Amino acid sequence: ELRDEILGWFGQDDALNPADFRSRGEAWEPLAGRTALVTAGPTHEPVDPVRYLGNRSSGLQGYAIASALAVLGARVTLVSGPVMLADPAGVDVVRVETGVEMERAVRTALPVDIAVCVAAVADWRIDGVSDRKIKKQAGAPPPVLTLVSNPDILAMLAAPGPERPALVVGFAAETNDVEAGAITKRARKGCDWIVANDVSTGTNVMGGQDNRVILITEDGPERWPLLAKTDLALRLAERIAAWFGTPVMATGGDRV
């Protein structure tokens, strides 16, 4: 039933092996009393009323992490870009389209104890979105799309301040020098952990069911085996629970 809970929205049943999990009993909720924010999916940055710049994120990994954190007892807000996935059970879902909308929804969700930024937010949006469909003009050269930087949600969350979550986890999708790129990204963004994966063509990570990552913490890189995205989500959620240590409400019995 725990398995059902995490897999219900997922529509499948492969590779999740919550054996460790079960041995602790179904009521094991080490994140009870904690709040978490997860971002997931791509963003779509409009060019005009019909065209957009997008990316191939399916949202699966982020939805799985939101679900796993909720299963472990956290109160989770999932800010999701446009994906074809149903809302995970027990998670508050806020759906957005663009990076600017995602940043606004994230700020609204603060403060939280845990932030996990899985969304593949577009680094850039189109400068000067047209409110009319851009027409092909015979003989005229194609338009040039000028880009401007989108808000950096991970850096915003990781910046010191009264609303900084206790633990800020970023994802890095890399196609080259995955580990080195992720170590640099962790330092540059100021986040606590980076989960780095290789999204090169052929790895089938984007849109696929499995994921192989390197977790970068203050202790250095840690290579995880190839895991189903649901398994990876549970493992990450358990790591987060371990990082926090004693549950907030260890003595309480009043949490439903």
Active site residues: 55
Candidates 8-16, 19-27, 106-114, 145-153: pick the segment binding a second copy (CB under 8 A): 145-153
CB of 21 to a second copy, least distance (A): 32
Smallest gap, in angstroms, from Cβ of residue 56 to a second copy?
5
The count of residues interacting with a second copy (CB under 8 A) is 39
Biggest distance spanned by C-alpha atoms of the chain: 74
Query: What tokens appear for 25 in the block?
Result: 């009993």
51 lies in the site for a second copy, by CB under 8 A: yes
Binding mask 62-101 for a second copy (x = CB under 8 A): ----------------------x-----------------
Q: Which residues contact 230 (CB under 8 A, 6 or more apart)?
A: 6, 7, 10, 15, 16, 64, 67, 68
Cβ at position 30, least distance to a second copy in Å: 34
Q: Does 9 bind a second copy (CB under 8 A)?
A: no
Name which position in 176, 245, 250, 251 contacts a second copy (CB under 8 A). Answer: 176
Among 11, 19, 128, 144, binds a second copy (CB under 8 A): 144
- Let me know: does 26 contact 17? Beta carbons within 8 Å: no
**Under rule CB under 8 A, which residues in 182-201 are in contact with a second copy?**
188, 199-201
- Cα separation of 133 and 131, whole Å? 7
Report the nearest approach of a second copy to the CB of residue 74 (Å). Answer: 29
Residues ≥6 apart with Cβ < 8 Å to 256: none
Instruction: Give the range of 2-10, 134-142, 156-164, 241-249 binding a second copy by CB under 8 A.
Output: 134-142
Distance between start and end Cα atoms, the chain:
16
Q: Are 56 and 207 spatial neighbours (Cβ–Cβ below 8 Å)?
A: yes
Q: Give the span between the Cα atoms of 256 and 190, in whole angstroms.
A: 35
From 18-26, 54-62, 108-116, 247-255, give the range in contact with a second copy by CB under 8 A. Answer: 54-62
Find all residues with CB under 8 Å of 135, minimum gap 6, and list them.
none
Q: Are 72 and 31 in contact (CB under 8 A)?
A: yes
Select from 41, 207, 203 the least CA-distant residue to 122: 41
Among 14, 20, 22, 56, binds a second copy (CB under 8 A): 56
Query: Contact positions toward a second copy, by CB under 8 A?
Result: 44, 47, 49-57, 84, 120, 122-124, 131-134, 136, 138, 142-149, 173-176, 188, 199-201, 206
